[in-house]
Structure 1
Amino acid sequence: MSFAWLKRYMPRGLYGRAALILLLPVISVLVVVSVVSVQRLIEGVTKQMTTATAREVRLVLDPRSEPRDAAILAISVNSISQSAVPSTDIRSWYDFSGIIVIREFSRLLPTLRAVSLADSQLVSLYIQTEDGPIEVRFDRRRVSAANPHQLFVNMAVFGALMTLVAFLYLRNQLRPITRLAKAAAAFGRGERVTYRPAGANEVRAAGLAFVSMRARIERQIEQRTLMLSGVSHDMRTPLTRLRLSLAMLDDDEEREPMLRDVRDMERLLDEFLAFARDAAEGETELIDPAALIRQIVQDCERARIPATLYKIVGEGEVRLREAGIRRAVENLIGNAVRYGTRAEVSMRLTDKSLRIRVEDDGPGIPPDRREEATRAFTRLEPGRNQDKGTGVGLGLSIAADVARVHGGSLRLGQSDRLGGLCADIVIAR
């Protein structure tokens, strides 16, 4: 039997699940103890006491007994009129033991007409005799235990107290896990928060492994940045000399193709430098994404790049790294106009997410190669137009990295309006 449907009702957070694990046994024990108490204490004891009292009532009503017997048994017997007899049994809705009292008296006293438990201290029996109806009154403690609800009150109070104590202890055990989760999530967004392993041995071991992993990744990123920055910087000097030498040539037909090759090499170096810079550089700040998108499109128009603003939906500020978002959107626009004739940019801001979309009318990317396209140094020119320029396969990779450090993702699809590639940067708020 599958219990998969229960997952939708389970708490998502660690504290919620821990509280559920803690409360379920406590509540189960309370329910079992309550059921046993009702069956044994309330029902069993009340039944025995009611049976004994019913025998005493029969003894008092026996014509052969002496009048002093009623006084000895602390039972009051009074003659009443027919109109004073209740038409039905009387008890409070919360008086569970009264149900058993009424049931047992009705079974043991055949001439009983009604039972009144309106007064919590007294029991009134209305019995029909040959001389007319009589009222038999005696203390309620003769037929049921005094304050039977105290057991449930004590169970509830001490159960809540022990649950609170256990939850406080459990919270101290869960706090190192939540701190580790927050540190890991922050590192995934490119932020570094102070974290010191603590807690139980298993949690401490996981924390030490995370700290070691974070240090190793940071060293690799630093080495990659230094390597690419050094290579790109060292290559600019000979390229500058080569450009100056070509500028001195008199033959324009030979000079222009070689200058174009130099410009392509400089553009490739710029892409290497952009990739070498970490996507998480800079601090996040509250910015207006709509204003940023409008500014990026205006800069493209001034640079005579065929990019237009299609639609902006929603207003507000979002905590972003402005330089990273600008670089990602510019890379998507550059890819769009390289493999198509135009690019259209749109933005949608909701309470839950920010979506920046760039569409083009180019050949697009096949669905089975879209994941491969976001990897660094991956070129898909066999499936796209090579006549529009060359690249090193870093545009989509940089955009994906920027989206990832913001806690989002880069999604590639097909544009329904333009027919080419549709690239979405989706960031949760």
Structure 2
Amino acid sequence: MSAQWLKPYMPRSLYARSALILVLPVIVLLLVVGIAFLQKHLEDVTAQMTRAASREVTLITDVVAVMETQQQALAAVRPDLVALDMKARFLGINEEPVIGSRRWYDFIAPQVEFELRALLPDLEMVALPSTHEARLYLNTKLGLLQLTFDRRRLSPVAPHQLIVTMLFFAVVMTTISFLYMRNQLRPITRLAEAAQAFGRGRVVPYSPGGAIEVRAAGSAFLDMRARIERQMEQRTMMLSGVSHDLRTPLTRLKLGLSMLPEDDAAPLQQDVDEMQLLLDAFLEFSRGAAEGTPEAVNPEVLLQQIVKDAKRAGHAADLVLVEGAGTTMLRPTAIRRAVENLIGNAVRYGAHADVSLTITPKSIRIRVEDDGPGIPPEQRTEAVKPFSRLDPARNQNQGSGVGLGLAIVADIARAHGGVLRLGKSERLGGLCADIIIGR
């Protein structure tokens, strides 16, 4: 629970999380090694080398301090300069020290200057223009003395090279690791795309690949997809077969009833009509969302045609709002059946149906509202179950309903990877049914 605050800032995709797991330890290792090297090893070595060089400089300045002229001083220190591999000269009266600019990556120069100023009280200026030369300007009684010697006597040679080498190989190895990781994650991504497409009612070609565990998951998905397809086909065939086989005896019953007196045949004819309605509902439910194949559909155009057909059928329905635009992969025949069922329910239990459409980059929402009694919140889950009949407040028996209308709509929504949500209409006060499908 203590790490919940960090969750919104973490990446959500598998690629990004894997890259973070891969890169973060490398960065931490570079920081630890770099800081330990700079603070422990490099600074200690630089301090030792600077102290040794300052003792040599002190030897030169001690000799200069007892001389009377600049020429005598230079002549006296010449043997020491040769032995110490240094050069010395006095600056003229109007001559200014040449400091120059340091290189941007010379991060050890500030420590060198700090150490020299602490060890050489007479030090006026320090010039470290490159990694090969160092110039010290010291105040003496004979004038400003310039000492030039090899920079490598003050600090290790090119200390930045270690950091550059570490960064270079870290980038190279991280790039290689990321490419390999991407090849390992690609089968997982393909499996996720195939599962998502199947959840939305589309079957895309997929063959298991990658590591053993990913192959096993892919094979299990293919088996599961095949079982679901077989079950859906068997359900459709069973209900269609039952509905089709029962039509023949019903036809015979109708023929027999037509030969009876009208007073005796009327009650039986009503029973036969109800049985015919049940068979038609079973057949419609068996088709479910399997009719048609997904294709790019403009939802606005489809809804306009559905509402137009509903008006021609005598239903009071209007397309009142359309927000957004674009096409979506849908089964148009199934969506038409779902919306027509919602409009039919709306005008059966109310007087008017309002249809609206909202399209966003991630989803579409088809909403049908009515001014009927609505469905209580505690009964909405039960209402979408097949063959479910609610209490008389909803007038469920009106029109000889069999309790499959909302179940068909929910089945079609699920087949598109979406959901059917029921609520209360804020505009009309009745039922509000939303079909929400991801794009």
TM-score by length of 2: 0.90
User: How far apart, CA to CA, are the structure 1 residues paired with 2:172 and 2:105?
Assistant: 25
Write out aligned runs for 1:26-105 (5 A). Answer: 26-63=26-63, 66-81=77-92, 84=95, 91-105=102-116
CA drift at 1:198: 3.2
Q: 1:373 aligns with which of 375, 383, 394?
A: 383
* Corresponding position of 1:362: 372
User: How far apart, CA to CA, are the structure 2 residues paired with 1:41 and 1:31?
Assistant: 15
User: How far apart, CA to CA, are the structure 2 residues paired with 1:43 and 1:223?
Assistant: 79
When the two chains are superposed, the root-mean-square deviation of aligned CA atoms in Å is 2.4
Consecutive unaligned residues of structure 2, counting only runs of 5 or more, are 67-75
Write out aligned runs for 1:277-292 (5 A). Answer: 277-292=287-302
In structure 1, give the amino acid aligned to 2:217: A
User: How far apart, CA to CA, are the structure 1 residues paired with 2:119 and 2:62?
Assistant: 14
User: Helix, strand or coil for the counterpart of 2:231?
Assistant: helix
User: How far apart, CA to CA, are the structure 2 residues paired with 1:258 and 1:309?
Assistant: 41
Give the direction of change, closer, same or farther, for the CA distance of 1:247–1:84 in structure 2 (3 Å limit).
farther
* Corresponding position of 1:242: 253
User: How far apart, CA to CA, are the structure 2 residues paired with 1:354 and 1:147?
Assistant: 62
User: How far apart, CA to CA, are the structure 1 residues paired with 2:311 and 2:259?
Assistant: 33
In structure 2, give the amino acid aligned to 1:355: R
User: How far apart, CA to CA, are the structure 2 residues paired with 1:41 and 1:26?
Assistant: 21
User: How far apart, CA to CA, are the structure 2 residues paired with 1:135 and 1:141?
Assistant: 18
User: How far apart, CA to CA, are the structure 2 residues paired with 1:257 and 1:2?
Assistant: 71
User: How far apart, CA to CA, are the structure 2 residues paired with 1:312 and 1:147?
Assistant: 68
| Residue 346 of structure 1 pairs with residue 356 of structure 2 | yes
User: Helix, strand or coil for the counterpart of 1:94?
Assistant: coil
User: How far apart, CA to CA, are the structure 1 residues paired with 2:156 and 2:169?
Assistant: 22
Q: Does the CA contact (< 8 Å) of 2:296 and 2:327 recur in 1?
A: yes
| Residue 300 of structure 1 pairs with residue 310 of structure 2 | yes
CA drift at 1:94: 3.3
* Corresponding position of 1:176: 187
Bigger shift: 241-250 or 182-191? Answer: 241-250
User: How far apart, CA to CA, are the structure 1 residues paired with 2:323 and 2:172?
Assistant: 52
Q: How many residues are matched?
A: 428
Q: 1:106 aligns with which of 103, 113, 117?
A: 117
CA drift at 1:365: 1.4
CA drift at 1:23: 1.2
Q: 2:405 aligns with which of 379, 384, 395?
A: 395
User: How far apart, CA to CA, are the structure 2 residues paired with 1:318 and 1:204?
Assistant: 31
Give the direction of change, closer, same or farther, for the CA distance of 1:256–1:316 in structure 2 (3 Å limit).
farther
Q: 2:216 aligns with which of 192, 197, 205?
A: 205
Q: 1:192 aligns with which of 182, 203, 216?
A: 203
Q: Does the CA contact (< 8 Å) of 1:113 and 1:126 recur in 2?
A: yes
| Residue 164 of structure 1 pairs with residue 175 of structure 2 | yes
* Corresponding position of 2:232: 221
Q: Does the CA contact (< 8 Å) of 2:105 and 2:160 recur in 1?
A: no
User: How far apart, CA to CA, are the structure 1 residues paired with 2:94 and 2:368?
Assistant: 90
1:5-37 deviations in Å (ceiling 9; x for gaps): 211121211111111111112222111111122
Q: 1:328 aligns with which of 315, 335, 338?
A: 338
| Residue 409 of structure 1 pairs with residue 419 of structure 2 | yes
| Residue 125 of structure 1 pairs with residue 132 of structure 2 | no
* Corresponding position of 2:329: 319
What is the identity percentage for the equivalent residue pairs of Structure 1 and Structure 2? 57
User: Helix, strand or coil for the counterpart of 2:108?
Assistant: helix
1:395-422 deviations in Å (ceiling 9; x for gaps): 1122122222222211111001111110
TM-score by length of 1: 0.92
Q: Does the CA contact (< 8 Å) of 1:197 and 1:204 recur in 2?
A: yes
User: Helix, strand or coil for the counterpart of 1:413?
Assistant: strand
User: Helix, strand or coil for the counterpart of 1:144?
Assistant: coil
User: How far apart, CA to CA, are the structure 2 residues paired with 1:352 and 1:38?
Assistant: 51
1:349-381 deviations in Å (ceiling 9; x for gaps): 233321111001112112222222222222223
Give the direction of change, closer, same or farther, for the CA distance of 1:426–1:249 in structure 2 (3 Å limit).
same
User: Helix, strand or coil for the counterpart of 2:279?
Assistant: helix
* Corresponding position of 1:139: 150
In structure 1, give the amino acid aligned to 2:117: S
Give the direction of change, closer, same or farther, for the CA distance of 1:86–1:370 in structure 2 (3 Å limit).
farther
* Corresponding position of 2:73: none
1:147-193 deviations in Å (ceiling 9; x for gaps): 22211121112112222222233233223322222222222122223
In structure 2, give the amino acid aligned to 1:49: M
Q: 1:272 aligns with which of 266, 282, 286?
A: 282
Consecutive unaligned residues of structure 1, counting only runs of 5 or more, are none
Q: Does the CA contact (< 8 Å) of 2:99 and 2:128 recur in 1?
A: no
Q: Does the CA contact (< 8 Å) of 2:288 and 2:408 recur in 1?
A: no
User: How far apart, CA to CA, are the structure 2 residues paired with 1:261 and 1:308?
Assistant: 35
Q: Does the CA contact (< 8 Å) of 2:348 and 2:399 recur in 1?
A: yes
In structure 2, give the amino acid aligned to 1:339: Y
CA drift at 1:261: 4.2
In structure 2, give the amino acid aligned to 1:76: K
CA drift at 1:105: 0.2
User: How far apart, CA to CA, are the structure 1 residues paired with 2:265 and 2:303?
Assistant: 38
CA drift at 1:327: 0.8
Give the direction of change, closer, same or farther, for the CA distance of 1:387–1:376 in structure 2 (3 Å limit).
closer
